[in-house]
Amino acid sequence: MDTNVFGMAATFHPFVGPMRAQASGNLVGHRSVAGFRGLPGGSAYSASKWPLYTYLESPARGAPRLGVAVVTICPGYIRTPMTAANRYPMPFIIDADEAARRFARAIAAKRRFAVIPWQMALVSFVLRRLPRWLFDRLFAARRERRRSPPVRG
């Protein structure tokens, strides 16, 4: 929570007023697709990403007419040394360079909300709308995700 929620607020806060005053700028927030629904093994991470949705909506209200763009980027899995340690399936994983290009396009287009890659938007949409009983049944047998120590080097 300190990093993902309070860190975001502490980073944004000094810029919102000046950007509104000068009527220009881009505020870009990072929110993971893991924040759409709590998954086994990701409770703390998912819980720390969900509040960012509403936090990033707040400055977005009225910001466009003031010349300020608020862009929320929700990445799925990105191939990095950190994800290399994951020992579970990572659907639609993309390379870091490709992710950066897609992020830059979303920011340049001033998209208010971008799920990258787009396939994760479909998965997130479905998961979020599943009734709790069905979601629980589908994920009941899923074990906690185990992470191997990160590879350093």
> Which residues participate in catalysis according to the annotation?
45
Question: What 3-state DSSP class applies to 116?
Answer: strand
As a whole number of angstroms, the distance between CA 2 and CA 23 comes to 30
Angle at CA of residue 103, ends 98 and 45, nearest 5°: 95
Q: How far is CA 145 from CA 17, 40, 152, in A?
A: 41, 7, 21
Per DSSP, the residues of 7-55 read HHHHHHHHHHHHHHHHT-EEEEEE--GGGSS--TT-HHHHHHHHHHHHH
